[in-house]
Amino acid sequence: MQLLHTTDEDFAKKFDRIVRDRRESDVQVGRDVATIINEVRERGDEALVDYTARFDGHGLGEDRDWQISAEECRAAHEALDPALRDALELAAVRIRAYHEGQLPADRDYTDEIGMRLGARWSAVDAAGLYVPGGRAAYPSSLLMNAIPAKVAGVERLVVTTPTPKGEVNPLVLAAAHIAGVDEIWRVGGAQAIAALAHGTKRIAKVDVIAGPGNAWVAEAKRQLYGVVGIDMVAGPSEILVIADQDNDPEWIAADLLSQAEHDPTSQSILITDSGSLARQVEDAVDLALMKLPTAKTAQASWDAHGLIVVVDSLDQAPALSDRLAAEHVELMVDDPQALFDRLRHAGSVFLGRHTPEAVGDYIAGPNHVLPTGRRARFASGLSVLDFMKRTSFIDASKAALAAIGPAAVRLAEAEGLPAHALSISTRLK
Amino acid sequence: MQLLHTTDEDFAKKFDRIVRDRRESDVQVGRDVATIINEVRERGDEALVDYTARFDGHGLGEDRDWQISAEECRAAHEALDPALRDALELAAVRIRAYHEGQLPADRDYTDEIGMRLGARWSAVDAAGLYVPGGRAAYPSSLLMNAIPAKVAGVERLVVTTPTPKGEVNPLVLAAAHIAGVDEIWRVGGAQAIAALAHGTKRIAKVDVIAGPGNAWVAEAKRQLYGVVGIDMVAGPSEILVIADQDNDPEWIAADLLSQAEHDPTSQSILITDSGSLARQVEDAVDLALMKLPTAKTAQASWDAHGLIVVVDSLDQAPALSDRLAAEHVELMVDDPQALFDRLRHAGSVFLGRHTPEAVGDYIAGPNHVLPTGRRARFASGLSVLDFMKRTSFIDASKAALAAIGPAAVRLAEAEGLPAHALSISTRLK
């Protein structure tokens, strides 16, 4: 953990270094992934059989080896502890309600020259969701990715997930049942992304691929971007807590650690105007780490990337926060709205002392798939728009074309595109 | 040109081959582009000087060699032929009006448990636009890319453009003046994209890069996607005309050629239920090609990729059109709305006989930067949203957290994330 004060002589330089630090492992997987994609494209299901045997120790033979049935998902849902099932269903209801409010409105109007203009939104036909296997298989993540697709109106929602040695996570199956996933394939890694993008005999191709994954999955999505749409390039996640002195240090410590426990590359940052709170939080983190079952990961993250910045005044916080463009920003102050009004770049903002990030991770409603690694400068969280596209339209009357056609002819001629000009002028004769 | 009839024995197979044909030159530029990006990242402006001398024959020495000033743009605008200037300005006014209607609404509401939720849109700080040099330097393209950025509220709008041997296109400078571009740098190719994404001493980095370019530019954008936002992966463009028998074959021929004259990889397709119209259009294309100054390119495109499909009934057209997911679709029939209602995948649709695609390319208002190469299945045309991002927010009262917090604690525990659970439970004590 690094402790900085804005009055430190070299603060600007040190803060700049933190902003630039990508925290991303530059694993050289590009060539391996290109090979896998090519194999799947050429050999289809056979390549999937080979890779799944090699990487997951799972044999794809019979139909039931390939897919997890809707019946299995329903059974997993029914077998859940009722309190946990209620919690999952409450989360689904709230996520659905929030995302229904994102559905975009079509446009259709006639302007002053009598030209009808507009745009119409529609869902993609099919979407693929990657769900990691093993430790990172989170039912909350399935809900957050699947529900926006279904709210958007996607008719065919396909999950691919590795099932190492055949093992599945019943919580994820239950979430798939709740979200209304249409197909689940027992295939993982770059080979799953390749199958979703190009299609095989068994797995029909999709139009958009979303969902988190390891470096191979992320690179496969990047390489296939353009063949299909993808949600985003994800990186290590981060939390930034902006807090005044009137806070319980244990609350802040828990919030910082909730990010740190995800991964050693996660980053937890506190900006405060109170030197004494800074020290108390530091102690509270150390204390909490002694009892935390995920302490090994959380400690590694906190040691390598943890940061506390003591500012003279919280007035300085928005500018620092915008440079970090953090995935999650908590505003633990009396008037969080005033600070929020001054923020420009953040994935999601948590206002007030009773809004820990974790409530947004699970159940508040907004999506927890958010831009990481300073990408909130230009990217947004996952939404129904990621599963939709817009078709613009133009309907010109003869009079409307007569009104503006001659100007278009002039522009086409100036650009050296005579057939463009002709297509208008021949109608103006 | 290929002529198919849906009753041909092998129609399905042949049509399938056309749908799958990517028409994209698989130039292997990946490694070259990676080298250029790396050089610019490490050597900054020096690398730009070297590449610009080598590729553009332009020396970057003095400040005035690097940038084109606002004064030069204003002068180019003033020196324009007044009729052409009026045409450019009319186009700008109409494009601005259409895109202002795209500005998204923020959300801010309190739900039934007293939890405040919402989302706030904001513009990126800085955007870069690539403008090709030479023949493909279109003022219309500058307007279509720059105006949405300015309407979105982007404060710093940076153009990079190669100026081979120092040469500039005065029409493009005039368009930059109209659109309110803030900086223009005389740098092109992958090196320009690298400079925009990573920044150099002279060129401050941007958050989003838009604009068309050659294979090197496109590959650089693809490689830097994630470091910055990008507009889309563009490919060769296409037009699909759906027409009944009551059409002037010369109009349709001109429309098909307006796409074909762009590039030999362009594709022009007619679907009609009239065999006689099909023959007439074929003849009209041949006749028009004899007089067209751009006949060499248009002929190459029409020969390689031109297609006429004769259907038994226009009822069959929407399904075929959706498989092609064309960038531009013209509906030259009496009741275009009925056909439009049945289309799912298209970049932009032109309704009725008096709406040639070219009116949309220049002046109607909607954007002419559209998804190509079947990408309308999942992608949309350029819009103000490409220059904005959304920050979601959550504001939980103590009571709201008490209402749903316990369910979130349960989910966090089930996912094996105890610090997540702790961050909520410690507030519920």
pLDDT digits (tens, 9 = 90+) for A263-314: 999 999 999 999 999 999 999 999 999 999 999 999 999 999 999 999 999 9
Give the confidence band of A21 by pLDDT, cuts at 50, 70, 90: confident
Structural fold of domain A2-24+236-365: Rossmann fold (3.40.50)
- Lookup: tokens for A352: 């007030």
Which one is catalytic: B39, B261, B327, B357? B327
Contacts of A23 in chain B (CB under 8 A): none
pLDDT of residue B63: 87
Choose among A167, A13, A156: nearest CA to B377: A156
Q: Tell me, yes or no, if B116 comes closer than 8 A to chain A by beta carbon.
A: yes
The residue in chain A having the minimum alpha-carbon distance to the alpha carbon of residue B398 is A354
Using CB atoms, pick whichever of B349, B356, B391 lies closest to residue A424: B356
Reported as a single tens digit per residue, the pLDDT across B382-400 is 999 999 999 999 999 999 9
Which long-range CB contacts under 8 A does B417-420 form with residues at least 24 apart?
B417/A258, B417/A261, B417/A262, B417/A294, B418/A261, B418/A292, B418/A293, B418/A294, B419/A254, B419/A257, B419/A258, B419/A260, B419/A261, B419/A288, B419/A292, B419/A294, B419/A298, B420/A258, B420/A261, B420/A358, B420/A361, B420/A362
Q: Does the pLDDT of residue A335 top 70, yes or no? A: yes
The CATH class of A30-230 is: alpha beta
ipTM over the 0.90 cut-off = yes
Region A142-146: what's the mean pLDDT? 97
Q: Which of residues 144-173 of B touch A (CB under 8 A)?
A: 171
Amino acid in position A238: E
Contacts of A367 in chain B (CB under 8 A): 392
Q: Tell me, yes or no, if B349 comes closer than 8 A to chain A by beta carbon.
A: yes
Using CB atoms, pick whichever of A140, A233, A423 lies closest to residue B255: A423
Q: Does the pLDDT of residue B135 top 60, yes or no? A: no
pLDDT of residue A383: 98
Q: Tell me, yes or no, if A202 comes closer than 8 A to chain B by beta carbon.
A: no
pLDDT of residue B25: 62
Q: Do B366 and A401 touch (CB under 8 A)?
A: no
Region A407-422: what's the mean pLDDT? 97
Q: Residue A140 and residue A363: Cα distance in Å, rounded?
A: 9
Q: Does the pLDDT of residue A33 top 80, yes or no? A: yes
For A295-358, the DSSP string reads HHHHHHHHHHH-EEEE-S-GGGHHHHHHHHT-SEEEEESS-HHHHHHT----SEEEESTT--HH
| Domain B2-24+235-365 = CATH 3.40.50.720 | no
Domain ranges of chain A: 2-24+236-365, 30-230, 397-428
Reported as a single tens digit per residue, the pLDDT across B249-276 is 999 999 999 999 999 999 999 999 999 9
A262 is in an annotated binding site: yes
Q: Which of residues 272-311 of B touch A (CB under 8 A)?
A: 288, 292-294, 298
Say whether A30-230 and A2-24+236-365 share the same fold.
Answer: yes
Q: Tell me, yes or no, if A132 comes closer than 8 A to chain B by beta carbon.
A: no
pLDDT of residue B134: 66
Q: Does the pLDDT of residue B24 top 90, yes or no? A: no
Mean pLDDT of chain B: 95
Residue B127 distance to chain A (closest CA, Å): 10
Q: Residue A77 and residue B43: Cα distance in Å, rounded?
A: 57
Which conformational region is residue A244 in: left (phi greater than 0), alpha (psi within -120 to 50 degrees), or beta?
beta
Q: Residue A140 and residue B57: Cα distance in Å, rounded?
A: 56
Q: Is B328 a catalytic residue?
A: yes
Q: Which of residues 177-196 of B touch A (CB under 8 A)?
A: none
CATH architecture entry for B30-104+123-230: 3-Layer(aba) Sandwich (3.40)
Q: Does the pLDDT of residue B137 top 80, yes or no? A: no
Choose among B336, B140, B201, B271: nearest CA to A393: B336
Region A214-221: what's the mean pLDDT? 90
Using CB atoms, pick whichever of B91, B375, B408 lies closest to residue A362: B408
Q: Is A327 a catalytic residue?
A: yes
Using CB atoms, pick whichever of B117, B254, B424 lies closest to residue A419: B254
Q: Tell me, yes or no, if A204 comes closer than 8 A to chain B by beta carbon.
A: no
